């Protein structure tokens, strides 16, 4: 087992809900810093725990760098000193260091003072306290409280008593219990365990209206629970704990509204009910919940879980059919706004050129998701003996499939594309056009034509395959869904090619994707939200929704986010499901 040991600026750091109580309302999570060793915690006024190296330290050798623990050796001349720190609970960490001094760097809006032997920082977002005990090694603890300096001090003084050796052993034990990596490649294996660290990092616990464990796309900046992200998370979480994966998707279903609607984003306090510009509507996200629920059921065989989920899944399906098929042709339309940088946040493909005309269109991806949801629903209904309900679900799925083939196939370009209200087919080729493979809708002949596009360097056969729009699109660039490569799409499309007996192209796509993630992790120390299709630019330099990526400040969503949860989940799933083999 090759544990992740690459220090990466922007990589997430914080206590996991898998280890104990953790919530997002007063989260003490941060990112590893790039200009020095340390963690910048994402409070309203940032506080950074940094380590000032003594003169003569010539080398840093990292042995473990994961979501809640850093272990390294500092080399000074012929001597070696240890730098170790780890989260002890949701709002505290503790560690020891030789040849470096722990310090707190606070933003200018903070004030600093000393109380009870602690260096305290008071500023927007709350209080932090650094407590140190000097000796041959300096022991230290750093703690946070949103309301009280005294509480932060007490927390630090408790944390410094932690048995650090036992803490490290527990953290390593987490990785030892995971399924071993089936690929014998050192770089890929190291990222494999890093991916599990990311999955673990983004688990939160019951808080407010959240009844139990739930997951977030990333602790900074998204923080909250998102619909389709949570579905993808289950495909990686099941390799940590099958019941945890089921919990992640059920957490979303528990926030359903009485009319069946489920919002794109949920917090412990509220669900999105956006009624002001630019949205002026309730927004949902790609319906993948039945797919995720069925995936969990196949692994657990838990029929009580199915019984709890099925009524909610059916109600959500019916809400979409009622509210997202305005022309009643069984093809669903994403809600589209006039916001240029995010015309369709509901689709998940926020800034795709698909939506540049700001028109509601019959969408191949939305329709395929709905067809697949009906298929999944039918199989689960059969498992519970609901034959009539299953027959109805199969009937809807069949009608959606026929409508996709009849109305969304663009013969001129050989792909499924969006359809405008006047019947005109869009000429924007996007990864959404491959979804009929994943949903089992495409005819064999059309599947063959989609394969040609996937192999064509001027279309989707870029060095990192499957850019979000075709490489010959005039809007093709590095910005998110205008050309970036997203691993959830790679996963679904690889499944689609497998479904049509094209394991060779699926394996080629997956191998290139895995190697890309591994290469940038081993260079930058992070797993990213999306990647450059030409594989020339580092993901951390890519623009996001038109914004420049520098300077990096995660209070602004302007970079390909580091340690993004569904990329980690897809990495684990792609490896364990054998999609990399022909």
Length of the chain: 582
**Distance separating alpha carbons of residues 325 and 384, to the nearest angstrom:** 29
Cβ-proximal residues to 101 (8 Å cutoff; 6+ apart), any chain: 51, 52, 54, 138
Distances (CA, A) of 416 to 57, 239, 512: 59, 34, 25
pLDDT at position 46 over 50: yes
The pLDDT value recorded for residue 337 is 87
For residue 268, with 0-12 CB atoms within 10 Å meaning exposed, 13-18 middle and 19 or more buried, which class applies? middle
pLDDT at position 280 over 60: no
DSSP-based three-state secondary structure for 341: coil
Cβ-proximal residues to 291 (8 Å cutoff; 6+ apart), any chain: 231, 372, 373, 376
The residue among 94, 102, 131 whose CA lies nearest residue 115 is 131
pLDDT in tens, 52-84: 999 999 999 999 999 999 999 999 999 999 999
The residue among 42, 45, 21 whose CA lies nearest residue 30 is 42
pLDDT at position 294 over 90: yes
pLDDT in tens, 433-490: 999 999 999 999 999 999 999 999 999 999 999 999 999 999 999 999 999 999 999 9
**Please, which pLDDT band fits residue 281 given cuts at 50, 70 and 90?**
low
The pLDDT value recorded for residue 341 is 86
pLDDT at position 278 over 70: no
Mean pLDDT of the chain: 95
Distances (CA, A) of 321 to 159, 326, 413: 53, 9, 29
**Please, which pLDDT band fits residue 558 given cuts at 50, 70 and 90?**
low
The pLDDT value recorded for residue 559 is 74
Cis peptide before 137 (omega within 30 of 0): no
**Distance separating alpha carbons of residues 202 and 221, to the nearest angstrom:** 12
pLDDT at position 279 over 50: no
Specify the higher pLDDT residue, 552 or 439. 439
| Across 113-137, average pLDDT | 97
Provide the residue ranges of all domains of the chain, joining segments of one domain with +. 12-176
Specify the higher pLDDT residue, 551 or 204. 204
pLDDT in tens, 101-119: 999 999 999 999 999 999 9
**Window from 6-10, 279-283, 389-393 with minimum mean pLDDT:** 279-283
The pLDDT value recorded for residue 545 is 87
pLDDT in tens, 352-401: 999 999 999 999 999 999 999 999 999 999 999 999 999 999 999 999 99
| Across 251-276, average pLDDT | 84
**Please, which pLDDT band fits residue 42 given cuts at 50, 70 and 90?**
very high
The pLDDT value recorded for residue 339 is 86
pLDDT at position 549 over 60: no
């Amino acid at each position: 087992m090759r544990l992740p040991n690459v220090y990466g600026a922007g990589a997430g750091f914080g206590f996991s809900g898998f280890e104990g109580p953790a919530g997002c309302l007063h989260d003490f999570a941060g990112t590893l810093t790039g200009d020095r060793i340390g963690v910048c915690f994402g409070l309203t006024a940032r506080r950074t725990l940094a380590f000032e190296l003594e003169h003569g330290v010539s080398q840093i050798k990292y042995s473990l760098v994961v979501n809640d623990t850093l272990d390294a050796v500092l080399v000074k001349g012929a001597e070696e000193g240890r730098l170790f720190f780890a989260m002890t609970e949701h709002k505290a960490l503790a560690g020891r260091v030789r040849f470096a001094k722990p310090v707190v760097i606070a933003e200018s809006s903070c004030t600093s003072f000393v109380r009870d032997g602690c260096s305290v920082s008071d500023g927007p977002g709350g209080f932090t306290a650094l407590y140190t005990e000097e000796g041959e090694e300096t022991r230290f603890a750093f703690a946070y409280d949103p309301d009280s300096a005294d509480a932060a001090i007490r927390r630090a003084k408790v944390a410094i008593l932690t048995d650090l050796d036992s803490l490290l052993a527990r953290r390593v034990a987490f990785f030892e219990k995971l399924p071993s990596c089936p690929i014998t490649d050192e770089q890929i294996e190291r990222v494999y365990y890093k991916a599990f660290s990311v999955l673990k990092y983004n688990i939160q616990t019951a808080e407010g209206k959240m009844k139990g464990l739930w997951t977030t796309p990333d602790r900074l900046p998204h923080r909250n629970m998102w619909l389709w992200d949570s579905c993808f998370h289950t495909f990686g979480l099941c390799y940590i704990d099958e019941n945890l994966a089921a919990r992640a998707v059920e957490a979303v279903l528990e926030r359903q509204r009485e009319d069946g609607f489920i919002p794109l984003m949920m917090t412990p306090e509220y669900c999105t009910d956006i009624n002001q510009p630019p949205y002026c509507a309730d927004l949902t996200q790609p319906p993948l919940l039945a797919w995720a629920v069925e995936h969990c059921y196949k692994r657990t065989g838990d029929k009580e879980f199915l019984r709890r989920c099925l009524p909610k899944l059916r109600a959500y399906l019916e809400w979409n059919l009622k509210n997202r098929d305005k022309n009643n042709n069984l093809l669903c339309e994403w809600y589209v706004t006039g916001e240029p940088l995010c015309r369709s946040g509901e689709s998940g493909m926020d800034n795709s050129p698909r939506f540049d005309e700001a028109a509601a269109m019959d969408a191949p991806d939305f329709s395929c998701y709905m067809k697949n949801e009906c298929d999944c629903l039918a199989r689960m209904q059969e498992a519970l003996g609901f034959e009539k309900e299953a027959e109805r679900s199969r009937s809807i799925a069949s009608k959606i499939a026929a409508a996709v083939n009849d109305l969304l196939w663009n013969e001129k370009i050989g792909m499924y594309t969006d359809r405008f209200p006047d019947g005109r087919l869009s000429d924007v080729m996007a990864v959404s056009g491959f979804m009929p493979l994943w949903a089992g809708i495409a005819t064999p002949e059309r599947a063959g034509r989609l394969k040609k596009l996937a192999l064509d360097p001027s279309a989707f056969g870029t060095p990192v395959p499957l850019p979000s729009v075709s490489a010959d699109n005039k809007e093709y660039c590095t910005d998110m869904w205008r050309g970036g490569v997203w691993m959830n799409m790679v996963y679904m499309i690889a499944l689609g090619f497998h479904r049509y007996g094209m394991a060779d192209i699926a394996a080629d796509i997956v191998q290139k994707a895995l190697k890309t993630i591994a290469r940038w992790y081993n260079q930058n120390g992070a797993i990213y939200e999306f990647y450059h299709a030409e594989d020339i630019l580092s993901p951390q330099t890519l623009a996001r929704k038109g914004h420049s990526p520098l300077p990096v400040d995660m209070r602004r969503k302007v970079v390909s986010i580091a340690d993004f949860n569904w990329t980690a989940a897809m990495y684990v799933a792609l490896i364990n499901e054998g999609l990399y083999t022909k």
